[in-house]
């Protein structure tokens, strides 16, 4: 209910204005503390890119992180990734995420990134500790931080802010009155702004990112199938436990499917009963959900990977911001 109110501009949210003022004040004080005491900030000896957002919920950070890993490798770099590991219960911290790991131990997004990229990835709520561990145990010359824009204890060379072109900034207010973790002015302070999708919201100077669906993948045996070759019937159960599930459902419609939508909270911990429905139909879910449902999903279950597409202008701007010879290869 609260999330819907943020993006509908519900008037009753004004009752939360005093709490919003308090949140802003605490966030400003915390950030200023790191600015005034640089000794509290750990700056890695290699370049570090932070990919984050200022809104609660998903905006497309994970596909962008995968894009950046590929971008770095194409330039001869050896990237590593650090992440908080939301909802993870690792046996130790910092914790190295393996491509065949368990989502309960490492979190859904880190497992997706590790599985898709086979990139060294370390999780820890203390991003600086994760970055130090990464450099101690892996030969990396570039660190990409998945989320962590507000984790000011970790020094960074480039900040990339990801925004949703459909949701924008909601009502433009900070928590709990609105969806923002930091005031809108933060947009003008980051190095690069990436807007996910072709919607109306797009600040001046931002770079557009499109998420292009790949082939469907079977959870049972890894078989791949293009949407145009699908023979299982166009009416399908569509499962999405992500920040903006409507975007996934619309993607399925654009591919010619007739989805029966089933929305779950972001990072939802699925159980078997979550995937049992009255109508027997094929099931298609997001890749982020699939990493948690390998052993839960019914036989005719599939997931839909997406690939981030950005412009050469974005890549040039990123290389320029990093300001290092290793990005000019």
pLDDT along the chain (329 residues), means of 10: 91 97 97 97 98 93 98 97 95 97 95 98 98 98 96 98 96 98 98 96 97 96 95 94 93 97 94 93 97 92 98 97 63
How far is 33 from 11, CA to CA, in rounded Å?
34
How far is 148 from 154, CA to CA, in rounded Å?
8
Output the pLDDT for position 327.
54
Domain ranges of the chain: 2-210+309-327, 215-304
Output the pLDDT for position 1.
80
Q: How far is CA 95 from the centre of its chain?
A: 19
Question: In b/e form, how buried is each residue of 204-220, taking b as 16+ CB within 10 angstroms?
Answer: eebbbbbbebeebbebe
pTM here is 0.95
Output the pLDDT for position 154.
98
Residue with tokens 């008037």, as numbered in its chain: 11
We find that the CATH architecture of domain 2-210+309-327 is: 3-Layer(aba) Sandwich (3.40)
Provide φ and ψ at 80, rounded to 5°. -130, 160
Q: Is 58 annotated as a binding residue?
A: yes
Q: Is 309 annotated as a binding residue?
A: no
Q: Is 61 annotated as a binding residue?
A: yes
Q: Is 251 annotated as a binding residue?
A: no
Output the pLDDT for position 57.
85
Q: Is 321 annotated as a binding residue?
A: no
Q: Is 56 annotated as a binding residue?
A: yes
Q: Is 60 annotated as a binding residue?
A: yes
Q: Which residues contact 163 (CB under 8 A, 6 or more apart)?
A: 53, 54, 55, 59, 169, 187, 193, 194, 195, 196, 201, 203, 206
Q: Is 155 annotated as a binding residue?
A: no
């Amino acid at each position: 209910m609260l999330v819907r109110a943020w993006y509908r501009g519900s008037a009753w949210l004004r009752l939360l204005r005093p709490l919003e003022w308090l949140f802003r004040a605490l966030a400003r004080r915390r950030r200023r503390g790191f600015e005034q005491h640089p000794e509290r900030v750990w700056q890695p000896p290699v370049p570090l890119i932070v990919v984050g957002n200022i809104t609660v919920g998903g905006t497309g950070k994970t596909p962008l992180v995968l894009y950046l890993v590929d971008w770095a490798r194409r330039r001869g770099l050896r990237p590593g990734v650090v992440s908080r590991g939301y909802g993870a219960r690792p046996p130790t911290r910092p914790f190295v995420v393996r491509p065949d790991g368990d989502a309960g131990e490492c979190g859904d997004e880190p497992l997706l990134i590790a599985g898709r990229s086979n990139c060294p990835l370390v999780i820890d709520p203390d991003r600086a500790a994760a970055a130090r561990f990464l450099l101690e145990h892996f030969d990396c010359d570039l660190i990409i931080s998945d989320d962590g824009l507000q984790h000011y204890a970790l020094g960074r060379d480039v900040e990339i802010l990801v925004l949703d072109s459909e949701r924008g900034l909601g009502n433009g207010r900070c928590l709990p009155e609105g969806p923002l973790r930091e005031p809108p002015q933060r947009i003008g302070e980051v190095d690069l702004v990436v807007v996910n999708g072709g919607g109306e919201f797009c600040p001046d100077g931002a770079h557009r990112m499109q998420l292009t669906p790949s082939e469907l993948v079977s959870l049972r045996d890894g078989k791949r199938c293009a949407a145009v070759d699908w023979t299982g019937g166009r009416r399908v159960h569509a499962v999405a436990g992500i920040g903006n599930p409507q975007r996934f459902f619309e993607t399925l419609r654009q591919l010619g499917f007739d989805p029966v939508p089933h929305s779950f909270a972001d990072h939802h911990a699925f159980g078997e009963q979550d995937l049992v429905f009255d109508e027997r139909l094929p099931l298609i879910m997001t890749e982020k959900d699939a990493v948690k449902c390998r052993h839960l999903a019914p036989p005719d279950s599939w997931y839909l990977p997406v690939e981030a597409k950005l412009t050469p202008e974005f890549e040039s701007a990123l290389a320029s911001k990093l300001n290092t010879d290793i990005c000019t290869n």
